[in-house]
Amino acid sequence: MPELPEVETIRRGLAKFIIKQKITSVEVLCEKSFLGSENCGKIKGALITKIRRFGKALIIDLDNNKSLMIHLRMTGQLIYDPREHQAERFAAGHPSDNFLAQLPNKQTRVIFKLDSGTLYFNDQRKFGFIKVLDTSAVKDDPFIKKLAPEPWDTSPEDFCTRVKKHPKSPIKAVLLDQTVVAGLGNIYADETLFAARIHPATPVASLTESQLKVILAMACRVMDFAIASGGSTIKDYKKPDGSKGNYLDKFARVYGRAGQPCTCGAIIAKTRVAGRGTHFCPKCQRLKETAND
């Protein structure tokens, strides 16, 4: 799915367009995508006041003490189409041709009509969801409640403590665990471990404290850079010459690069760790490598 940097890109982008707009109607095309869809009446007529993010979850606050929680999971996208024909569409999230397509389409799950535009929630695999919460209850939502701090908001010591609760797990599996650190997904886990020069399958127990601290620092650096480069949006999905852009090119060093050379010259490998496709450089990230601190 969109991981933390992509969700942050959505938050920033959408904030520019939909804050202070009124929700004039909500249309649920797929029941599964709107948990408690009988509640969608509660947000009709409300004004959007704020957009927040908790890890990979978005919260859209309204002026009637309700909030919308949106989790994009693997294939969710949010696309805002201004009513004015000239104005450009804002699309971000899982990159696909939906960014450019006529909407709604087959993958459109929920449609929010706003004062001056339409917000589409598309989701190919239907793993994502939207739900209505009391704003005061957002912090008690089960997902948000057990979310660990984001990498920038935790002390290295606390991070190490949480990681070390899983001594037998491969480090990559632990980085994907949102109760250990929030925001990393399959791409940024791989990129973080490449930046830290740690093999993804390394059991936590065989990592030193200083290696764990490097991992935390690299998670911050990798995601900072991804946010700065603008996540996956319509802007770079299709290049001016008509060719398809790949937002991974902007920052990914190993993800999606199996078979290509690393900067060191070795060929990037792909295996399976924690049930997920896992990319790494066999030379830069050796298993059983000891700490060099």
3-state secondary structure 181-238: CCCCCHHHHHHHHHHHCCCCCCEHHHCCHHHHHHHHHHHHHHHHHHHHCCCCEHHHHE
Which segment (149-157, 183-191, 217-225, 280-288) binds DNA by CB under 7 A?
A: 183-191
Q: Which of 12, 89, 250, 276 is catalytic?
A: 276
How far is it, in rounded angstroms, from Cα 192 to Cα 179? Answer: 17
Please report whether residue 169 would count as binding DNA according to CB under 7 A. Answer: yes
Please report whether residue 2 would count as binding DNA according to CB under 7 A. Answer: yes
Touching DNA, residues 221-280 (CB under 7 A): 231-232, 247-248, 272, 274-277
**164 classed as catalytic:** no
Tokens of 111: 């449609």
Q: Radius of gyration of the chain from Cα atoms?
A: 20
CA distances (Å), origin 21, targets 28, 63, 223, 277: 19, 11, 30, 41
How far is it, in rounded angstroms, from Cα 53 to Cα 123? Answer: 19
Please report whether residue 94 would count as binding DNA according to CB under 7 A. Answer: yes
**56 classed as catalytic:** yes
Sheet holding 76-82, edge to edge: 23-28, 108-114, 117-123, 76-82, 90-93
Nearest to 1 by CA among 279, 276, 250: 276
Q: Which of 16, 20, 24, 32 binds DNA (CB under 7 A)?
A: 32
Which segment (123-131, 150-158, 193-201, 213-221) binds DNA by CB under 7 A?
A: 123-131
Please report whether residue 73 would count as binding DNA according to CB under 7 A. Answer: yes
Nearer to DNA, 218 or 274 (CB): 274
Which sign, positive or negative, has the C-alpha torsion 266, 268, 271, 274? positive
Q: Which of 25, 143, 157, 249 binds DNA (CB under 7 A)?
A: 143
Nearer to DNA, 15 or 248 (CB): 248
Which residues participate in catalysis according to the annotation? Answer: 2-3, 56, 276
Q: What residue ranges bind DNA (CB under 7 A)?
A: 1-3, 6, 32, 55-56, 71, 73-74, 93-95, 106-107, 124-127, 142-143, 165-170, 173, 176, 178, 185-187, 231-232, 247-248, 272, 274-277
